[in-house]
Amino acid sequence: MALNGVISSGLTAIATNSAAMRVTSDNIANVNTPGYVRRVAQQSTLAPGGQLAGVQLSEVQRIVNAYLDKEVLTSNGNASRYTVQSSMMDQLNASLGEPGDGSSIGSRLDAVYAALGQSALDPSSLANRLGALNRFNGLAQEISNLAGSISDMRTAADQQIGSVVSEANIVIKKITDLNPLIQHATIAGDTGSGLLDQRDTLVSQLSSLIGIRTLTQADGRMFISTTDGVQLVSDNYAVLKFQPSSGPSFKPVMVQTMNRISNQPVGSQQILEPHVSNGELRGLLDIRDETLSGLGQELGSLAQTLSSAFNAVHNANAAIPSPGLLQGRNTGLLGTDALNFTGATTIAIADGSGVKQHDIAIDFDAGTLSVDGGPPAGLGASVDSFVLALNTALGSNGSASFVDGALKLSATGGNGFVIADDSANPTSRGGVAFSQYFGLNDLFTSSGNTVLTTGLTASDSHGLSGGSISLVLKGPEGQRAGETTVAVTGATVGDVISALNTAMAGKANFALDANGEVQVTTGLGYSGYDLEITADTTMRGTTGQSFTSLFGIGVGNKLAMAQNFSLASGVANAPQRLAFSKPTITATAVVTAGDNRGLLALQDAMTQTHNFASAGDLPGRSVRLSDFTAAFYQDAASRGSSINAAQSAGDTRLKLAQQSQSEKEGVNLDEELAKMMSLQQAYNAGARLLVVAQQLYDALLQVVGA
């Protein structure tokens, strides 16, 4: 029995140390393999029936540390979140330019001011006018280009979200397919299966896409969920669903649980976005819906106020020679709408030298107009009746028409129009003067409606030919509250406002103020939420204006105020159309070539304070155009700095976590080579035992034979 014990010890030593050397050689071979976890061959005493019989390989153990693994997954998701944001902010910074570099909005404003100062020396100089026009155009182009860049970047982020969702679905399915294989290996006693490394690599990949939490089951399977518990991999698996679009309102990311066996849906799908805490997906959602949206709304607020300020001055003044065609903007008004103007204005017809030929004095308070001091004629109560009266008053001198919400004035005989309000009783509809309201002599225009004070009242007809409005309150983390569709009901603007309030049930409140502007406020518990219009099929007559575009409701309409921002078509290529003169309606020459009072008024508009609506992270305020521009750039810089700081901290945390994980779970060549030598010696010792046993048997046989 003693010799048999020696042989057993030798054989088990050879087999066990041979297996242990295979484990060590695998470690050495995979020293540079990403995701590989070091294995250790655990040996134990072989003692059947309590009798020593050598050694055995009890298990091959993967050296993992649950805490470090969790820290790496969390850090990986956090680093990926801010890395993708930092990359997009670098693109935005390239579009923003730097204050003082000549291309930023602030620099463009300074250039406009300087050009106007130069033109003030000789306002009749075509070269000076062309210089000023180019500076105005440069300002408009910079705003438009930046708005376009923000819009393009939001669309690009949305496309990347689609790619992340597709990649996440592939990874989730692979992990789901690996789980049963690992379960079988674990039950069979293979706790060091290479499948575990494959799964860990996939889990790391998934953590970089979506912030996750893992839970390893006793049978080796791994369940994965978002950090707040939405299951991605369990007995079943999740499929993420997303449809990229071009905005400005984007589709939500949905998650649907699927049966692992039948691949059929289980239960109903839900919105995933509020449950995503980290990873590229969170980073892209934040940059698209918070950072870029906020900056876009701030830019829209700047464009709206800048446009209103310059347009108010430009409409109040005149050019020489006066334009024979004034093509107004699309106001969204219908011919049947109430006129709703107060005050008095005069439309003068002047020749090319600025000498008055005729004038039409309009008194909205009295509801009359008179031609060249003649008897008054009634205006009527509607826009159509006013246009008819004006057209009649023009007679052979010109015409007036109102089509698709736009007023158009045309003069004959080479003459032009000069419009000037009564200084003591200026016109107003919703707080906006007659010429500016109709946009007859605008300097700037954009895709959005920048005149939000419509002058409509709650009792006015809504003028909508059916349709519906779909809207949602969107939270800072993608929460969607009060998502609903409101069909057009009733007959008045007030009816539509009431329907919107009823549908939103206090989550958002709509109110029409005295100037006809719709004020939107969020309800209690919804601070920081933005109202998005996901669809609006309403239309006021043939104007092409929907209810929400007319009133500028929703994020999309706020963004549109800076998009396609440009010089008005009548001014764009006509420096002579710049309204540098101030009309003197009572004089024979209503405008004169050397007059620079209108020009100085344009300069003054840049130094005066203006009311800016709250937008993005900037609260409502009354400041100069340059001050709000500086605040916009400061906000963009602060957002970028915050993201860069978070990225740096995230990268450092990930690096430290990976370093600690590598020290614990990775392969150390020196240790493995030393272990290999020790195992070789143990292997050789086992072989020597067999040699000794053989020698003893040979000696015993010789003794017995003798």
User: What is the DSSP code string of 557-592?
Assistant: HHHHTTTT-EE-HHHHT-GGGS--B---TTSSBSS-
Whether 209 shows a pLDDT value over 80: the answer reads yes
What does R_g of the chain's alpha carbons equal in angstroms? 39
DSSP secondary structure string for all residues of 683-704: HHHHHHHHHHHHHHHHHHHHHH
**Chain centroid to CA 63: how far?**
43
The residues, any chain, with a CB within 8 Å of residue 366's CB and separated by 6 or more, are 376
Q: How many of the other CB atoms lie within 10 Å of CB of 196?
A: 22
Element (H, E) at 611: strand 610-612
Q: Count H helices, E strands: the chain?
A: 16, 25
Q: Which two tokens stand for residue 614?
A: 């709250």
pLDDT of residue 368: 97
- What does pTM read for this prediction? 0.91
Whole-number Å distance between alpha carbons of 448 and 557: 6
Q: What angle do CA 547, 551, 554 make, to 5 degrees?
A: 90
Provide the 8-state DSSP code for 453. -
Q: How confident is the model at residue 180 (pLDDT cuts 50, 70, 90)?
A: very high
* Segment 536-565 mean pLDDT: 96
CA gap 530, 476 in Å, rounded: 8
pLDDT in tens, 461-517: 999 989 999 999 999 999 999 999 999 989 999 999 999 999 999 999 999 999 999
Share of the chain above pLDDT 90, in %: 79
> Which of the two residues, 147 and 688, has the higher pLDDT score?
147
Considering only CA atoms, which of 467, 472, 453 is closest in space to residue 519? 453
Residue 18, both tokens: 């041979």
Query: DSSP states of 263-303 as a string?
Result: --EEEEEEE-GGG--SHHHHHHHHIIIIIHHHHHHHHHHHH
Q: Which 3-state string (H, E, C) describes 19-36?
A: HHHHHHHHHHHCCCCCCC
**Mean local confidence (pLDDT), 130-135:** 96
pLDDT on residue 367: 97
Please state the φ and ψ torsions of residue 26, each to the nearest 5 degrees. Answer: -65, -40
* CA–CA separation, 310 and 307 (whole Å): 5
In this model, does residue 706 exceed pLDDT 70? no
CB 434 within 8 A of CB 345: yes
344 pLDDT higher than 90: yes
For residue 196, CA distances in Å to 20, 62, 163 come to 19, 9, 26
The CA distance from 274 to 260, in Å, is 25
Report pLDDT for 65.
86
**Which class for 207: exposed (0-12), middle (13-18), buried (19 or more C-beta within 10 A)?**
buried
Task: Tell me the HSE value of 463 on the side-chain side, using a 13 A CA sphere.
Answer: 23
| Distance of alpha carbon 337 from alpha carbon 464, whole angstroms | 12
Query: Given this model, what pLDDT does residue 100 score?
Result: 64
**pLDDT classification of 140: cutoffs 50, 70, 90:** very high
**How many CB atoms sit inside 10 A of residue 465's CB?**
11
Which range (175-184, 411-420, 685-694) has the least confidence? 685-694
Strands 377-378 and 254-258: unpaired
Fill in the amino acid letter for 186.
T
pLDDT in tens, 219-274: 999 999 999 999 999 999 999 999 999 889 999 999 999 999 999 999 999 999 99
What is the spatial distance between Cα 345 and Cα 425, in angstroms, rounded to a whole number? Answer: 8
Angstrom distance (rounded) from CA 567 to CA 445: 6
Mean pLDDT of the chain: 93
Which residues lie closer than 8 Å to 125 by C-beta, 6 or more apart? Answer: 119
Of 303 and 33, which is predicted with more confidence? 303
| Number of CB atoms found within 10 A of residue 286's CB | 22
Strand partners, 41: 60
The sheet carrying 344-350 orders its strands as 377-378, 368-371, 356-363, 344-350, 416-421
Q: How far is CA 233 from CA 215, 241, 607, in A?
A: 10, 16, 61
pLDDT at 1 over 60: no
* Burial of 491 per CB tally in 10 Å (0-12, 13-18, 19+): middle
* H or E stretch covering 346: strand 344-350
Whether the per-residue pLDDT at 692 is higher than 60: the answer is: yes
Task: List phi, psi (to 5°) of 402.
Answer: -135, 105
How much is the pLDDT for 636?
94
Percent of the chain with pLDDT over 70: 99
Using alpha carbons, select from 570, 119, 576 the residue that is nearest to residue 354: 576
CA atoms within 13 A on the CB side of 20: 27
- Beta carbons of 497 and 510 less than 8 angstroms apart: yes
Are 592 and 581 spatial neighbours (Cβ–Cβ below 8 Å)?
A: yes
Question: What is the structure's pLDDT at 99?
Answer: 60
Sheet holding 406-411, edge to edge: 325-327, 406-411, 398-403
Per-domain residue ranges for the chain?
A: 2-63+666-705, 64-319+587-658, 324-440, 468-551
Locate 591 and state its tokens: 């405008």
Burial of 17 by CB count in 10 Å (0-12 exposed, 13-18 middle, 19+ buried)?
A: buried
217 three-class SS: coil
What is each CA distance from 43 to 13, 185, 240, 672, in whole angstroms? 10, 20, 45, 16
Cβ pair 647, 82 in contact under 8 A: yes
Considering only CA atoms, which of 120, 140, 136 is closest in space to residue 128? 120
